[in-house]
Amino acid sequence: MLRKLAFTGIKSRLRDYLVLFTGLVISSAVFYMFEALATNPQFLKNSTNGMSAASFIFQFGSVLLTIISLVYIFYANSFLLSMRQHDYGIFMMLGAKPTKIGRLILTETLVIGALSSVIGVVVGCLLTASLGSYLMQSILQTNVANFHAVHVPAILVTLVLYLVLFVIAGFINRRKLIKTPVLGLLKGDSQPNRAKLKPVSQFIQVVLGIGLLAVGYYVMKHFIDFQLASIPLALVTIVFGSYLLFNAVFVWLVVLLKKTKWAQRGINNFTLSQLDFRIRNYTKILATVSILFALALGAITVGMGFGKETDLFTQGSSGYTMALEDPSAAVKKQVNKLDTEKKVSYSEKQSKDTVYYVKEEFDRIPLQDVSDNWMKKMSKGKKAKISYQSFDGQKLQKNPGSLYYLQKNGSDKTVKIISQSEFAKIQAPRQQLYLFRVKNIEKSKKSLDKIVKTAYPKNYETIRSTIPGGYAGYLNGLEVFGGFEFMGFFLGIAFLAMLASCLMFKILSGANSDKHRYEMLNKLGVRKNTLRRSISREIMTLYALPGVLGIVHVLFGLQLFKTLLISPYQGIWLPFVIFIVLYLLYYLVTVKLYESIVLPAVEIDK
């Protein structure tokens, strides 16, 4: 009977549970997709770099998602407990033993966890199936045969991990409920947690909060100096700094606004009182949401940044698209069909440990290599067209490094530039180093693949990523940077779903206790439009504050990626716009759900 009553209570609040359920499903679905890709043998077999790059990228994403999911599940379950604690208190007043209620909580938690995990795996399979071919084409630039979206090891890992997390959360909830007095369970939602203005204490918290944030931002900016210690140091200082800042500024702001003339207009004082009623509880969740916001926006921004890096990495890797030794007539014919901007060939002879080139040939047609000037401008966030510097025979004699990197991959032979007469005396077959550069590697990708297949028909798959020049850099960049772009986007979506669910659930969990206040205002003659305006302002405040601080976190956090990205700030407006639009959608959904709970069905005639 007790179990029936409990699940009847869950059914009556099914709409609220769906908010939590959505975040859990998205989290487990993305985790499954990462695991399926990281451990799928067909995917890894066709990877340009073998298992190392693809497996590491998606396993890293899985670990990061697990850490954030752990925090989210604990928060979500604490909200579940607070939402149901009144029902549990009634059950205990009716004679139910605390231990039985504890078992009931554990059962409910496991049921919700199992359902969300199973549905998440199903959604993850659909995501993997629908996006698998796209991933192969965009990242690996190939179609993988026999790629299965349903991967049993990934299913088992996902289900076991999430069930373990829910078991831990269930036991924590059970212990918390048993320790709480019955009266506390019955009146927990209606107990105000009003803030009192303490100027000295508030000022100290503001100074400490700003100081901790400044330390975190400084550490991220000087990542090279602090190395790996910068990440945990920045995380700790920014988390505590965010909490102190919210606890001081938010509390101070609400208390001071209530003393202004603006508070006396309309029902502004009521809106501020709503925030004031549970303000201490909100400061904790807002600090957490600001961190999740920064992680979500940062993941999408950095992911899209890595996507842009593919082209930059390719352009900066070499002055030529491809370097071929003694190409056949068929290969040269295919090269002539390309949209090239540079073609040149140089004579060479090879001994056991040396490769010889003719100085006069480089004097006539200098070798080109990428200039450092454009990369310096890009690193400062400026747009710059790629530029090249020329190396004649004299320069190459002093420093043949640019020519060395165009030798056959794996060759450790010394490069020497000699005169035409000296070259003729060397007893070795005359060969040709054939170099060309296309205007756009992405557009010429299919034609370049055909050229490599023609030049190396037997070992095309293994050699294509080792051919000297920008083509191999493009393939490796697609896998590494494209993998991070794919991972960053879905991590961002998962983090967004979790942070929005946390904030949405926190707001909606107190909606039922707020309902009678809105009914009272309705009876006093307040129009529904005025009530809706009050609700939208209240919820907008709760969404805007962590959003603004989260954006600041991201702007400083991008400093961490200066060692990985040439220009981490270039084009950041696009991911910011995409993310803010999605964030606003969650805000609008929260407003509508809250209105549907608290606004009276019948409006009193004015």
Domain assignments of the chain as residue spans, ordered by start: 1-191, 195-316+474-480+523-606, 319-468
Instruction: Please give the pLDDT value at position 272.
Output: 72
Distances (CA, A) of 110 to 70, 422, 485, 563: 15, 81, 34, 43
Query: Would you state the torsion angle of the CA atoms of residues 104, 108, 111, 115, taken in this order, to the nearest 10 degrees?
Result: 170
Question: How is residue 85 written in tokens?
Answer: 């604690």
Pairing mode of beta strands 414-418, 354-358: parallel
Buried b (16+ CB within 10 A) or exposed e, 107-119: ebbeebbeebbbe
Nearby residues of 393 by Cβ (< 8 Å), 6 or more positions away: 358, 359, 360, 361, 362, 363, 417
Give the residue among 185, 171, 181 at the shortest CA–CA distance from 77: 171
- DSSP letter at 345? E
Which residues are within 8 A (CB) of 539 and not within 5 positions of it... i.e. 6 or more apart? 507, 587, 590, 591, 594
Q: Where are the beta strands (DSSP E) in 326-470?
A: 340-350, 354-358, 367-370, 388-391, 414-418, 431-438
At 189, is the secondary structure helix, strand, or coil?
Answer: coil
**What are the mean pLDDT values of the chain's consecutive 10-residue runs (606 residues total)?**
60 67 82 76 53 58 76 72 68 70 75 85 84 60 59 86 83 72 57 59 83 88 76 83 81 74 72 69 78 84 78 77 89 90 90 88 89 66 71 85 78 84 89 90 87 84 80 79 76 81 76 77 80 85 87 86 73 83 88 82 54
| Contact yes or no for 132/147 (Cβ under 8 A) | yes
pLDDT of residue 435: 92
Q: How many residues does the chain have?
A: 606
Contact 9, 84 (CB under 8 A): yes
Give, as one character, the DSSP assignment of residue 250. Answer: I
pLDDT for res 68: 76
Cα separation, 475 vs 466, whole angstroms: 10
Q: Residue 482 in contact with residue 139, Cβ under 8 Å?
A: yes
Quote the tokens at residue 528: 């529904």
Q: For residue 588, which amino acid is it? A: L
Tokens of 262: 């603006």
DSSP string, 529-582: HHHHHHHHHHHHHHHHHHHHHHHHHHHHHGGGGTTT-S-TTTTTHHHHHHHHHH
Report the greatest alpha carbon distance in the chain: 108
Half-sphere exposure of 139 (CA within 13 A, CB side): 28
Q: Is 45 exposed, middle or buried (0-12, 13-18, 19+ CB in 10 A)?
A: middle
Q: Measuring CA to CA, how many Å separate 471 from each of 319, 324, 438, 491, 567? A: 11, 12, 10, 29, 22
Instruction: Give the phi and the psi of residue 341 in degrees, each rounded to 5.
Output: -120, -5
pLDDT of residue 50: 43
Distance from C-alpha of 243 to C-alpha of 227, rounded to nearest angstrom: 26
Distances (CA, A) of 596 to 316, 518, 550, 585, 592: 56, 12, 29, 17, 6
- DSSP letter string over 396-454? HHH-THHHHTTSPTT--PEEEEE-HHHHHHS-S--EEEEEEEES-HHHHHHHHHHHHHH
What pLDDT does residue 6 have? 56
Threshold 0.95, pTM exceeds: no
What integer pLDDT is reported at residue 49 of this predicted model?
47
β-bridge mates for residue 34, sequence order = none
- Determine the 3-state secondary structure of 415 from DSSP: strand
